[in-house]
Amino acid sequence: MTRDLFEIMTSNAEAGPGDAGRTGSWRVERPVIDLARCTPAKRGKAACHLCWLYCPDGVISKDLEPEILLEYCKGCGICAEECPTQAIRMVAEAEFVEE
Amino acid sequence: MNTIESGNVAAAMAVKLARAEVIAAYPITPQTPLTEKLSEMIDRGELDAEYVAVESEHSALAVCIGAASAGVRPFTATSANGLLYMSEQVHWAAGARLPLVMCVVNRGVGAPWTVWNDHQDAISQRDAGWIQLFVKDHQEIMDTTLKAFRLAEEVSIPVMVCYDGYYLSHTYMPFDAPEQERVDRFLPPFHYAHTLDPSHPENLNSVTMPDTRTDVHGETAPSYMDIRHNLHREMVQAIDRLEAIDAAFRELFGRGGHPLMEPWRCDDAEFVIVAMGTLANQFRDVVERLREQDGIRAGVLAIHLYRPFPNDRVQAALAGVRGVLVYEKALSYGNQGPLYGDVRSALYDCEPRPAVENFIVGLGGAGIRTGELYRTARQACLEIGRQETPDDAPHWVGLGV
């Protein structure tokens, strides 16, 4: 049976960085972490990391000083919403452009 | 094995012979006896399948989409408002290129409520990207359903097998149910090109961009429009594939030969009536009478494959005739019958171009009397090309008030 005439084109994405390109360009607000309020950074222990857990795009590192990969962060703000110590603030991208 | 049963049971027997592995359906008249029969077959251990009782038609097709994605052969069936309730998933299944088969037991669409037959339900899903086949009798329900599974799986496009509610679903006719062993030779095990594989996880039908995008490997991934263009192109290719499958079926079972359309007494015809479903069979009596009583050389062309529409074959079948009368049980409100529009468009390049007339009949099961079909067809044959276009064109046959 020949199926070669039929390409059967669909949109299937494998797990990995940047399937839809550099989605950081979609961002309107940028999450900024205040390490002075961030639990693992403050205590020097692998604790909390709720931002890492909740980030739907997996762009926050599980480090003592969490880092946000701005190349792909879409700026949804879930990390800021979930952070129990309000260490993450959403700042308008326009402010960074003005800098 | 020769048997006498209802059209719904013929469909259920075909689904059993096709060894469907997941059945998900929600009851709706006149489809209900089909999926009831399948649940009985599963209960008695005659069919090794999972029956998923769902809360709606939308869920029924969603379950079939899940089953096909997981690599097993699904089946569902519906009618009228049930088909419309699953419409979002109907479009999804086509875009995802899932090889599904669904029987649509044709019924008029509410409001007002009707449980009786017309073709508006299937026609409303005409542009969803499914292959649509219309059949005329119980044997065709059986054979076309078997061919539909193979077609869907070879071209990876979902297929609707459409048959007239009550006219076929609830009437009894003799038909042959082929042996399981020969069906197994005709229909290989289920195949889907993008089956879910836990060792190679993928996000299926993920969001596309207006333009191409770069995937995780840095390669160019197609845009929405690329994917939709591919669906269209391969649907057109499915016409040849259906002919090849029909030829293979004919070799094994000795039946078939008219997978796209079936001409009857068209060889010397000056006038050809075009129709779909049981209406095409009813017109055989009309054609006999036109030939015997009036000396009008008429024929009837039953369209089996409605989407993809076999434009060049329709053109070849009708080129050279004087008049074409398209009778149909559906309407594009405010314009004309959809089949009429398709036939007329297929004939546009013919030289000379046949005159084409459009008749709407049998909406919501309105009685279709053979005598009335004869009178309207006879008048159209005598006056074709000279008829005045009515204010509410097309012509309506069978209005009560």
Residue of B156, B235, B241 to mutate when probing chain A, most A C-beta within 10 A? B156
Sign of the Cα torsion A50, A54, A58, A60 reads: negative
Which of A3, A8, A11 should one mutate to test binding to chain B, selecting the residue with the greatest count of B CBs within 10 A?
Answer: A11
Q: Report yes or no on A65 lying in a domain.
A: yes
Nearby residues of B211 by Cβ (< 8 Å), 6 or more positions away = B223
Q: Distance from B338 to chain A by nearest Cα, in Å?
A: 28
Q: Is the peptide bond before B111 cis (omega within 30 degrees of 0)?
A: yes
Q: Which two tokens stand for residue B132?
A: 């649509």
**Of A13, A18, A21, which is closest to B202 when you measure between CB atoms?**
A13
- Please report the number of interchain residue pairs, chain A to chain B, with beta-carbon separation below 8 angstroms: 81
Per-residue pLDDT, averaged over A69-81, amounts to 96
B213:A6 CB<8 A: no
Question: Considering only A12-21, A32-41, B383-392, which range has the smallest mean pLDDT?
Answer: B383-392
CB contact (8 A) between residue A7 and residue B234: yes
Q: For the domain B261-397, what is the CATH code?
A: 3.40.50.920
Nearest to B97 among A8, A20, A21 (CB): A8
- Strands annotated E in B16-88: 22-25, 50-53, 74-78
pTM of the model: 0.92
Q: A54 forms bridges with which residues in the sheet? A: none
Q: Is the separation of the CB atoms in B315 and B350 below 8 Å? A: yes
Could you count the other beta carbons within 10 Å of the beta carbon of residue B200?
7
Closest residue by Cα to residue B320 from B287, B293, B297, B295: B297
**Of B142, B4, B138, B112, which Cα lies nearest the Cα of B365?**
B112
**Contact state of B194 with A8 under an 8 Å Cβ cutoff:** yes
CA angle B170, B182, B151 (to 5 degrees): 70
pLDDT at position B218, please? 86
Contact B209 A21 (CB under 8 A): yes
Interchain contact, A13 vs B193, CB within 8 Å: no
Q: Considering only CB atoms, which chain B residues are within 8 Å of A12? A: 194, 202-206
Which among A5, A6, A17 has the least Cβ separation from residue B216? A17
Residue of B nearest to A15 (CA): B202
ipTM (interface predicted TM): 0.90
The CATH number covering residue A32 comes to 3.30.70.20
pLDDT at A61: 97
**With contacts defined as CB-CB under 8 Å, which chain A residues touch B231?**
9
Measured CA to CA, the distance from residue B339 to residue B332 in angstroms comes to 10
What tokens were used for B329? Answer: 């049980």
Neighbours of B352 (CB within 10 A): 9
**Which residues touch A43 (CB under 8 Å, ≥6 apart)?**
none
Residues of A within 8 A of B202 (CB-CB) are 12-15
Number of domains in chain A: 1
> Where do the structural domains in chain B lie, given as residue ranges?
2-186, 261-397
Contacts of B194 in chain A (CB under 8 A): 8, 10, 12
For residue B233, the chain A residue with the least C-alpha distance is A6
Contact B75, B161 (CB under 8 A): no
Inter-chain residue contact A3 with B96, CB threshold 8 Å: no
State whether residue A80 is helix, strand or coil: helix
Question: A86 touching B, CB under 8 A?
Answer: no
Q: What is the tens place of the pLDDT at every residue in A89-98?
A: 999 999 987 6
**A94 has a chain B CB within 8 A of its CB:** no
Rounded Cα gap, residues A14 and B199, in angstroms? 12
What confidence score (pLDDT) does residue B59 get? 98
Q: Measured between alpha carbons, how far is B252 from B188 in angstroms, rounded to an integer? A: 14
Q: How far apart are CA B274 and CA B125, in angstroms?
A: 21
pLDDT at A99: 62
Alpha-carbon gap, residue B233 to B107, rounded angstroms: 30
Report chain B (401 residues): mean pLDDT per 10 consecutive residues. 96 98 98 98 98 98 97 98 98 98 98 98 98 98 98 98 98 98 97 91 89 88 96 98 98 97 98 98 98 98 98 97 97 97 96 95 97 97 80 89 89
Tell me the fold of B2-186: Rossmann fold (3.40.50)
